Amino acid sequence: MDPKKALLRAADETLAGRIDSGWVLENLPIGLFLLEVREEGHRILLTNPSFRTIFGLEEEAADGITITREDKYSAFESIIDHCLAVRRTCKPAYFEWHTRSEPSDQFFACHLMPRLGGNGEVYQILGSIIDRSAEKRAERILLHNALHDALTNLPNRVLFMEKIEEALERQRDGEAQHCAVLVINLDRFQLINETLGHLGGDEFLVTMATNLLKILRPEDTMARLSGDEFAILVSEISRIEDANAVADRVHRTMRAPFPMGDSEFYASVCIGISSTISSAPYADDLVRDADLALHRAKAAGRGETEVFHRDKHRHVRSQLQMEVALRKAVQNQEMELHYQAIVDLFTGRLVGFEALARWNHPTLGVVSPVDFIPIAEETGVIVELGRWALHTACEQLVKWRQEEPAAKSLTVAVNVSGVQFSRSDVAAEAEMILSLTGLSGDSLRLEITETTIMKNPEHAAEVLHQLRDQKIRLALDDFGTGYSSLSYLQRFPIDIVKIDRSFITDIESNTGNHRIVEIITMLGKTLGLTVVAEGIEHQIQTEILRDLGCQMGQGYLFSRPVPAKEARRLIALGDNWLT
């Protein structure tokens, strides 16, 4: 009897005719094949349409043929190699491979299952093949975005730090001499934005980046660190004058007119330089010291360059006073939480708030989180600050619920720093705070970043599951800006994905950002996750996000972060949050 018919008949008899196995086999979107194991080569007994589509075979060119390692189909060579291993070990095997083809590479995963005879030897192997090309392409897009700036396509801070580490490693191995970091900041960029508008300002930054790339060596790296701040890694120098020479080329390039539409613009930059000659041989120190030098350059005027020297900048690097001030700030109630509304984009209903720390210094005034959060993390004060923020936010939500009937269903989201996550028992602290405040776990959202998970995945998994056991919902913050991976969304008990504001800012005009948001939203929907978009400022952004299926949003369109009293007034307004 024909092997294919025999297999189908056996399956039908086993299932007592309840399932049309032939129909299943023919329509299954997974490639299936059955091999008869032979010394001279494995004979294909059975294939289904999906298998033949993957390899571009006709039915008569597949079933019944014998394949060997020398077969003309390149993928068969890998399959045969693994079949030999399955035959030798009598154990299942799993492997992946990819082929290079137009218009893009294809990725496949294969699982082999041995069938043993009465003598205990393998005489048949059942294989299944899954096309993972779409998933891999999505991961590539997310990975590229995680390491590159969306506007200029330059490396971002994450990739730039990696490049510095690589340069330092070559230096430690004796393969290179010294390296230098230049941090570059545009003078009066706010004036450029006001003159050209934000879109014109973005175009100016792209043109500037393109011009500066032309003066660099192939082995050097240029990155965009933030809005109008760029950085250059000069990977090999023998003396500090080599870095100064690069800075001089940057200044000369910036002195040339920038054609923008019908006009020409002139701009200048300030540059801070650090190097392993005068700074510590660590990536964080090099960037920090270059930034300190940049501040001195900007204080000296426009178009200036400052080189970091330990003695000259020693007083600037002192963190002790700020650390003491931060600790006192928590104790003396100088810290305050502001709350930014989170809105259901489909119903317009207020669903909760994100709590954000603000520091009202008695002499310095309001200190930006951009300034004090990094110092708090570096000194470890962030642990105490995070504990205070969590307790205050939970306590405030309980108070709102007692005062406003509309607050009964609201939730509050609190950020958990990577330092706090690694140095303290977050799960135990959350359990204690929920008990003290009387807030239920399902009313609390904790936001963590991908970088926090990456540092210690095993520890992260344990803590996140402990938090999930308390019914606390977990959000992955700034998704797409770190080491985005689909495996994290599946491996860890994540409930919410927050799309970083950098993708929302120009989603209506940037097709790349639009596609990235579409992919993230699609992934969230597929995995059963809630997707929240940050930084919404215009109604058109809301409409686009809603069309893409993004459920929640926050941003200045709805509300800026406001003190607790103002947030209570917003709660009392009701649910009409969509214009």
Distance CA 434, CA 428 (A): 10
Q: Which amino acid is at 245?
A: A
For residue 331, the Cα-to-chain-centroid distance in whole angstroms is 34
Q: What is the pLDDT of residues 259-268, one digit of tens each?
A: 877 778 788 9
- Tokens standing for 411? 């939730």
Q: What is the pLDDT of residues 261-289, one digit of tens each?
A: 777 878 899 999 999 988 888 899 999 99
Distance CA 131, CA 219 (A): 37
Give the pLDDT of the chain (579 residues) as one tens digit per residue.
555 555 556 555 554 455 566 777 777 888 888 888 776 677 888 888 888 887 777 766 566 666 665 555 555 667 877 888 888 889 999 988 777 766 677 888 899 999 988 888 888 899 999 888 888 888 888 888 888 998 999 999 999 999 999 999 988 887 768 999 999 999 888 777 777 888 888 888 999 999 999 999 888 999 999 889 999 999 888 889 999 999 999 999 998 888 877 778 788 999 999 999 888 888 999 999 999 899 888 877 889 999 998 766 555 555 556 777 888 888 788 899 999 999 999 999 999 999 999 998 887 788 878 878 888 887 788 889 999 999 999 999 999 999 999 899 999 999 999 888 887 889 999 999 999 999 999 999 999 988 788 778 888 889 999 999 999 999 998 776 655 556 667 778 999 999 988 899 889 988 888 998 998 999 888 889 999 999 999 999 999 999 999 999 999 999 999 999 999 999 988 666 665
pLDDT at 102: 64
Q: In a 10 Å sphere around its CB, with 0-12 CB exposed, 13-18 middle and 19+ buried, how is residue 233 labelled?
A: buried
The 8-class DSSP code of residue 43 comes to E
Question: Which residues make up the CATH 3.20.20.450 domain(s) of the chain?
Answer: 320-573
Distance CA 138, CA 36 (A): 36
Taking Cα atoms as reference points, which of 64, 28, 59 lies closest to residue 44? Answer: 64
Residue partners of 461: CB distance under 8 A and separation at least 6: 491, 492
Bridge partners (DSSP) listed for residue 232: 182, 222
Three-state SS string across 57-92, please?
CCHHHCCCCEECCCCCCHHHHHHHHHHHHHHHHCCC
Bridge partners (DSSP) listed for residue 306: 272
Distance CA 122, CA 356 (A): 62
Which CATH superfamily is 320-573 part of?
Answer: EAL domain (3.20.20.450)
Class of 149-317 in CATH: alpha beta
Give φ, ψ of 324 to 5 degrees: -60, -40
Strands 42-47 and 31-36: antiparallel
CB 545 within 8 A of CB 182: no
pLDDT at 301: 82
Distance CA 94, CA 311 (A): 59
The 8-class DSSP code of residue 152 comes to T
pLDDT at 386: 92
Q: Which residues of 45-81 are buried (b: 16+ CB within 10 A; e: fewer)?
A: bbbbbbbbebbebeeeebbeeebeeebeeebbeebbe
Tokens 């204690």, residue? Answer: 432
Question: Which residues make up the CATH 3.30.450.20 domain(s) of the chain?
Answer: 3-131
Question: Which residues make up the CATH 3.30.70.270 domain(s) of the chain?
Answer: 149-317
pLDDT at 497: 92
CATH of domain 3-131: 3.30.450.20
CB 287 within 8 A of CB 281: no
Strands 411-415 and 365-367: unpaired
pLDDT at 248: 94
Distance CA 145, CA 209 (A): 18
